[in-house]
Structure 1
Amino acid sequence: MADKLIRIGTRGSQLALAQASEVRARLMAAHGLPEEAFAIEVISTSGDRILDRPLSEVGGKGLFTKEIEVALLEERIDIAVHSSKDMATALPDGLSISAFLPREDVRDVFIGKAAPTIETLPEGATVGSASLRRQAMIKRMRPDLNVIIFRGNVQTRLRKLEEGQADGTLLALAGLNRMDMAHVATEVLSPERFPPAPGQGAICIESRLGDERADGLVAAISDQPTMVALTAERAFLAELDGSCRTPIAAHATVGDDGTVSLHGLILKPDGSEMHETHRTGVVEDAEMIGRLAGRDVLAAAGPDFFEGWAA
């Protein structure tokens, strides 16, 4: 395996590079390879370059993966490392998610300047977030707050906060943990009360279908419980035809008894209406559990729920 350089494709943010480095470290340990056997290839994506508009207006989740997936298909890289929550439910022909690393903390955190918690923010305070899910959930908790779009990587959003563009923002605890920055959080939100985005906290590896060398490399570091949980969450998302245009939350957990439990939720963007479901079953049925959960919330919401605001 060490006779040919292993090229890892990634975005160039501090968090993306930390994730690619974690994949490299795990592959080195699993296969006894030196660091020199790997090359981390930074690929600029549309999502990194377009920062002045909501993702829903310029192409959705694929903006963070498209250029990397092109490099993978053109064999300029061997594997791609992504944040799982950035992955569309339908991948380009010829590509697949071949591994998930053990999942980090799934929770969101609030970083407050005007107050340490969402509930103690003064009336009319401004909260910045790029996520429709977070925006809708904040509006549901505190309809009086002014919620604005906050695009950019972690460092950019924290800088905007320091500049006074908002009184608070929300980030994933997993990303902060990976950069040793968890101390910036002023409130950690429980996943029951504030469920995460499908895939949040999980690093995934994408590779070409039929690439035995890549499959052999990543199989050694793939985490089965994370694979099961993400299968359920992504099936829930797929059933809802979910994208960056729809506020959707999902969190699946895998028990020691061989069961998987899924909490799924959809909201209207203004937070005025919410529908949620809980489903449990055996891990072998993870995909069906996710799909049935999606049908649960669709049935409860009715056929007009997404009308007028989801593309």
Structure 2
Amino acid sequence: MTQTSLIRIGTRGSPLALAQARETRQRLMAAHGLDDDKIDIVVITTSGDRIQDRALAEAGGKGLFTKEIEDALLDGTIDLAVHSAKDMPTALPPGLVLSAYLPREDVRDALICAPEHDLTTLSPGARIGTASLRRQALIRRQRPDIVPVLLRGNVETRLRKLAAGMCEATLLALAGLRRLGHAGAATHILDVDHFPPAVGQGAIAIETRESDTRMRDLLAAIDDRPTHQALLAERAFLAVLEGSCRAPIAGHARIADGRLLFHGLVLSADGGKWAEWRDSGPVDNAAALGAAAGHDIRARAPAGVLGV
């Protein structure tokens, strides 16, 4: 890498997306001794940013947050793309790869509501604002009386809508709150065993052209191996289930005592039925472990789960 070369990072323009792009830039600068004027951040508006009046499942799925950025990567407008890993479809466009992941933040969900309440004590019929089918199904599994209502927008927008009385509570990823300095807004942090996260939650994924060996070599210096291995398992799990925004799917992999532990869960939309999988395996066999979890759940899933 020479100081005359410019690296162009593509990202969405939300405060969280920009925070993630800046973290990527800082890590590249530190790893390769680069000046900040050698790494440019290019803001790209996606279809997911423009569509705010309906759930993503109705508009075309999570790829709405990545398509325009990936188009810019393919045509050479940018050199790498920074994404929230949970926004990434399992199938990438031909010629693109996920080359690196930054160290993962906390994977848990945060409940934000009046301080005297938690998920068990919210009033019957209370409205919880969320656009996530996973969160809706997990809420309904614990509290069938609670009413999920659509709440779209970036973190600050959702917090404003909650404060304006559009709902009595909302759920947000703790990772996003922390990256934006809003961790204090969390009323309760939900237990990961009973309220497992979305695949990729808390992780920052960096996408490049497969043929760009120079950029992939640069990113190797900031790739976090434990996060990368965990995401291999989670994304393999999701790929087997053909997961998208149309099915409530949770998946969480972590490394402990030299082993990869995996927890997968798929629910019906109303939270009344589910199939669950927990096991561990060698870290170097991460993708195979995630795929095995997906195949097992697909074989056992009750009617009404996975849309069948």
Aligned to 1:263: 263
Give the AA of the match of 1:131: S
Q: Does 1:173 align with 2:185?
A: no
Give the AA of the match of 2:8: R
Deviations 1:65-121 (A, max 9, x none): 000000000100000000000000000000000000011100000000385311110
Once the two structures are TM-superposed, the CA of residue 282 in structure 1 deviates from its matched residue by 0.4
Aligned to 2:200: 199
Aligned to 1:279: 279
Give the AA of the match of 2:206: I
Give the AA of the match of 2:278: H
CA contact (8 A) 2:109 2:171 kept: yes
Give the AA of the match of 2:224: D
Once the two structures are TM-superposed, the CA of residue 301 in structure 1 deviates from its matched residue by 1.1
**Cα distance in 2 between the residues matched to 1:212 and 1:115:** 54
Aligned to 2:297: 297
Aligned to 1:188: 189
Q: Does 1:8 align with 2:6?
A: no
Q: Percent identity?
A: 58
Q: Does 1:39 align with 2:9?
A: no
**Cα distance in 2 between the residues matched to 1:162 and 1:198:** 29
Once the two structures are TM-superposed, the CA of residue 299 in structure 1 deviates from its matched residue by 1.7
CA contact (8 A) 2:281 2:289 kept: yes
**Cα distance in 2 between the residues matched to 1:124 and 1:73:** 47
Q: Residue 196 of structure 1: SS of its match in structure 2?
A: coil
CA contact (8 A) 1:230 1:252 kept: yes
Aligned to 1:226: 227
Aligned to 2:21: 20
Deviations 1:262-309 (A, max 9, x none): 00000001111111111211012111110110112112214663336x
Q: Residue 198 of structure 1: SS of its match in structure 2?
A: coil
Once the two structures are TM-superposed, the CA of residue 218 in structure 1 deviates from its matched residue by 0.6
**Cα distance in 1 between the residues matched to 2:307 and 2:108:** 30
Aligned to 2:307: 307
Q: Does 1:83 align with 2:84?
A: yes
Give the AA of the match of 1:200: Q
Give the AA of the match of 2:239: A
Once the two structures are TM-superposed, the CA of residue 46 in structure 1 deviates from its matched residue by 0.5
TM-score (norm 1): 0.96
Give the AA of the match of 1:91: L
Aligned to 1:56: 57
**Cα distance in 2 between the residues matched to 1:119 and 1:263:** 23
Where do 5+ consecutive residues of structure 2 fail to align?
A: none
TM-score (norm 2): 0.97
CA contact (8 A) 1:115 1:121 kept: no
CA contact (8 A) 1:267 1:274 kept: yes
Q: Residue 278 of structure 2: SS of its match in structure 1?
A: strand
Q: Residue 261 of structure 1: SS of its match in structure 2?
A: strand
Give the AA of the match of 1:77: I
Where do 5+ consecutive residues of structure 1 fail to align?
A: none
Figure out how many residues of one structure are paired with residues of the other and give that number.
307
**Cα distance in 1 between the residues matched to 2:262 and 2:33:** 37
Q: Residue 183 of structure 1: SS of its match in structure 2?
A: helix
Deviations 1:177-228 (A, max 9, x none): 1111100000000111100000000001000012022112111000111111
Q: Residue 279 of structure 1: SS of its match in structure 2?
A: strand
Closer/same/farther in 2, CA of residues 169 and 76 from structure 1, 3 Å limit: same
Q: Residue 200 of structure 2: SS of its match in structure 1?
A: coil
Q: Residue 49 of structure 2: SS of its match in structure 1?
A: helix
CA contact (8 A) 2:84 2:202 kept: yes
CA contact (8 A) 2:273 2:302 kept: no
Q: Residue 242 of structure 1: SS of its match in structure 2?
A: coil
Where do 1:106-145 residues align within 5 Å?
A: 106-113=107-114, 115-145=116-146
**Cα distance in 2 between the residues matched to 1:210 and 1:305:** 39
**Cα distance in 2 between the residues matched to 1:130 and 1:83:** 16
CA contact (8 A) 2:45 2:68 kept: yes
